[in-house]
Each structure stands twice: as C-alpha cells, then as structure tokens.
C-alpha cells in the first residue's frame, strides 16, 4: 500500500508541476526483464498467499540473488537518476536482511497498529512468518527493520521499513521525473 500511495503522489506531483504521463512512457529501460526475474524469485520464496516458500531450498541465497538482480537493473539504468534512490532503499533493506539470515526484523507493535494482528500473533507464536522475523533484542539492525506503519484504516497496510519508504519515494520521484520530461 505504501508504494501505491507513493506512486499516486508521484503522478499528482507530476501533474501539479505541469508534467504529463506520456513522458513516463518515453523512458527507455535497459534490461527490463531483470525486474521480472527479481520479482519471480521473491514470489517463489515468499508468495503472497502463504507464509511458506514455494521453493523451500536455498531460500536465503535466492533472496540475496533477487536483490542482486534488481540492483543490476539499477546499474544498467544508472542514467535514470531516481533509480539510485530506489537502490539506496534496497540497500537499506538488504542490510538487516543480511544481518538476520535473509529475514527482515518486524515490530509486533507496528503490525498490530497497522491492522495486521494475525501476522503479529503468528510472529509471537512462531518467531517467523514468510520473510520476516519477530523483532527482539537478539535481532540485528532493528532500526532498519519494519517498525513504521500506516494507520489500520488504510486497507492493505502492514509494517514497513525506512528502506521501503526510500524505495517508494524513489519510485514516486521516477514517475515525477519521467512526467517532467518532454515526450
């Protein structure tokens, strides 16, 4: 939901500044299929509909591989300056993932406040859920973990990290930047 809100704000900002969506259509991405590969890897190991991976082997290395593929896409498109903001957010997410064996530490309190009480309950009972681990003093880089949240009255909200926020802002700025280009 955070990303959707950011994308809407990016489009609105583009229109307010006199931009047009056709400018975004004029952006030329190199190796766009890398994004699809990164997403497929993420969905294979952390599907939306389950807390269990579809591919239960090598989950941690595949998670890192998905980030490497996505960052390769950014490097290949480095001329698109807003993608560097997206990459910075990805690195901010990768740090706590690497420090916690491929799982993002998440605050149970943030999940509850966001309206994700069932996931909070699962974390309290099991310690992990999908690609997250319950944030405790034993988890590492908690400040970069999923401890922020949108109010529960916003549909589809969950806890998110500073890295997620930076990624969303980068995507919004990419839309704005693209809209400001003359088609």
Residuewise pLDDT in 10s, the chain (183 residues)? 899 999 999 999 999 999 999 999 889 999 999 999 999 999 998 877 677 778 778 888 999 999 999 999 999 999 999 999 999 999 999 999 999 999 999 999 999 999 999 999 999 999 998 889 999 999 999 999 999 999 999 888 889 999 999 999 999 999 999 999 864
What pTM was estimated for this model as a whole? 0.92
Domain ranges of the chain: 2-28+79-180
CA 116-61-7 angle, 5° bins: 45
Q: How far is CA 49 from CA 17, 46, 67, 79, in A?
A: 39, 9, 21, 36
């Amino acid at each position: 939901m955070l990303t959707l809100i950011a994308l809407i704000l990016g489009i609105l900002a583009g229109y307010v500044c006199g931009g047009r969506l056709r400018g975004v259509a004029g952006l030329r991405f190199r190796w766009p299929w890398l994004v699809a590969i990164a997403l497929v890897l993420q969905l294979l190991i952390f599907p939306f509909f389950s807390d269990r991976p579809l591919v239960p082997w090598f989950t941690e290395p595949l998670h890192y591989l998905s980030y490497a593929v996505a960052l390769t896409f950014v490097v290949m498109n480095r001329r698109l300056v807003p993608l560097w903001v997206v990459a910075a957010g990805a690195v901010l997410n990768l740090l706590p993932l690497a420090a916690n064996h491929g799982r993002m530490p998440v605050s149970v309190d943030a999940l509850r406040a966001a309206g994700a009480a069932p996931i909070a309950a699962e974390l309290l009972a099991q310690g992990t859920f999908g690609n997250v681990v319950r944030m405790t003093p034993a988890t590492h880089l908690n400040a970069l973990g999923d401890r922020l949240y949108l109010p529960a009255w916003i549909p589809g909200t969950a806890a998110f990290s500073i890295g997620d926020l930076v990624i969303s802002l980068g995507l919004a700025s990419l839309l704005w930047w693209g809209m400001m280009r003359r088609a």
